[in-house]
């Protein structure tokens, strides 16, 4: 950027800070910012201005690095992106106002362009930092979800339960099948209970996957019992015309376990 512009901004830093704080005040009234304590808020405002104004007189790499470490910290505590983007819009408005009053017309045009580019660069970097962090979080959550997704739990010897909770998409359906078959071998299960109490919608795709899973279970020499079919789900399955006739089902997990015990020649007895 033109040294004279840098000089211009730098000389008026104090004034810009004041005006900017006024602007940003009104802009952030409605956002999530209102939950942040007052002192931390104004502290951060000042720091933010320092960071952006300081980008003017260090090397571009250095400027990038400083902005990054500042933003990283704020992302970490959950500071909203809109604070930065709106704040920078306000900042730009303040600078341009100030310049309009103090620059000649022919000069103003190119100056405005330079300021725009400068601010745009900062906005772009901010958005990149934020999306990078969101993608990261998303990937971690996907992984966590996958781990929680379809556990096969051995409850008695030769009897295991797979509780399914939440929406079943293609990826999860694959996981269910894998975990089911691997788990059966690992725990030497003879009976597996698939509990669908926590599955919100059982459509043809979900039903199809369950039927296929049960077939596969049969092929590895075990038996599958479907439990936890809520009354409204039972009715929609019938409406869809899906035939679960060949399929052992029980209304509750408890009844499923009872029949699993029967199949494996076990009994629970009360001791006096």
Partner 1 sequence: MSSQSCVEVHTEWGIVSARQAGRNKAKEIGFGNVDQARITTAISELARNIYLYAEKGEICIGEVSEMGGAGVKKGLQITAKDVGPGIDNIREVMADGFTTSGGLGAGLPGVKRLMDHFDIESTSGEGTTITAIKWLR
Q: Which residues bind ligand ATP (CB under 6 A)?
A: 204-205, 208
Residue 30 touches which of partner 1, ligand ATP, none (Cβ within 5-8 Å per kind): none
- Shortest CB 205 distance to ligand ATP, Å: 5
Query: Using CB distances below 5 to 8 A depending on partner kind, what does residue 167 bind out of ligand ATP, partner 1, none?
Result: partner 1
Rank residues 55 and 249 by Cβ distance to partner 1 and give the closer one: 249
Q: How far is the CB of 209 from ligand ATP (least distance, A)?
A: 10
CB of 108 to ligand ATP, least distance (A): 57
Query: Measured from the CB atom, is 17 or 202 closer to ligand ATP?
Result: 202
SS (H, E, C) 133-170: HHHHHHHHHHHHHHHHHCCCEEEECCEEEEEEECCCCH
By the 8 A CB rule, do 202 and 169 touch?
Answer: no
Cβ-based nearer residue to partner 1, 32 or 238: 238
Spatial CB neighbours of 189, under 8 Å, sequence gap ≥ 6: 152, 154, 158, 159, 160, 183, 222
We find the least distance from the C-beta atom of residue 163 to ligand ATP, in angstroms, to be: 24
Record the tokens describing residue 146, joined without a space. Answer: 């996958």
Q: Using CB under 8 A as the criterion, which residues of the chain lie in contact with partner 1 when the complex forms?
A: 167, 169-170, 200-205, 207-208, 231-233, 235-236, 239-242
Cβ 84 vs Cβ 126: under 8 Å = yes
Nearest distance from residue 242's CB to ligand ATP, in Å? 8
Q: What share of the chain is helix, strand, coil (3-state, %, to 5)?
A: 70, 10, 20
Question: Residue 79: what are its φ and ψ, rounded to 5°?
Answer: -70, 130
Exposed, middle or buried, 101 (CB in 10 Å: 0-12/13-18/19+)? exposed
Which C-beta is closer to partner 1: that of 115 or that of 227? 227
């Amino acid at each position: 950027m033109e040294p004279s512009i840098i000089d211009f901004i730098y000389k008026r830093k104090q004034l810009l800070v004041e005006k900017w704080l006024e602007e940003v005040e009104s802009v952030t009234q409605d956002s999530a910012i209102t939950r942040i304590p007052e002192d931390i808020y104004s502290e951060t405002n000042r720091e933010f201005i320092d960071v952006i104004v300081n980008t003017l007189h260090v090397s571009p790499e250095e400027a990038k690095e400083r902005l990054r470490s500042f933003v990283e910290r704020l992302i970490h505590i959950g500071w909203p992106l809109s604070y930065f983007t709106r704040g920078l819009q306000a900042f730009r408005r303040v600078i341009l106002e100030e310049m309009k009053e103090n620059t000649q017309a022919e000069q103003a045009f190119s100056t405005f362009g330079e300021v725009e580019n400068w601010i745009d660069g900062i906005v772009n970097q901010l958005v990149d930092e934020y999306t990078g962090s969101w993608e990261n979080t998303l990937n971690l959550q996907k992984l966590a979800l996958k781990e929680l997704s379809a556990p096969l739990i051995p409850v008695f010897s030769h009897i295991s339960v797979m509780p399914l909770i939440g929406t079943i998409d293609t990826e999860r359906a694959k996981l269910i099948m894998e975990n089911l078959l691997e788990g059966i071998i690992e725990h030497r299960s003879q009976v597996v209970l698939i509990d669908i109490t926590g599955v919100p919608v059982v459509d043809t795709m979900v039903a199809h996957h369950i039927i296929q899973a049960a077939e596969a279970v049969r092929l590895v020499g075990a038996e599958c019992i479907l439990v936890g079919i809520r009354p409204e789900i039972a009715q929609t399955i019938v409406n869809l015309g899906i035939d679960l006739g060949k399929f052992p089902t029980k209304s509750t997990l408890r009844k499923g376990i009872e029949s699993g015990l029967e199949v494996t020649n076990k009994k629970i007895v009360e001791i006096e």
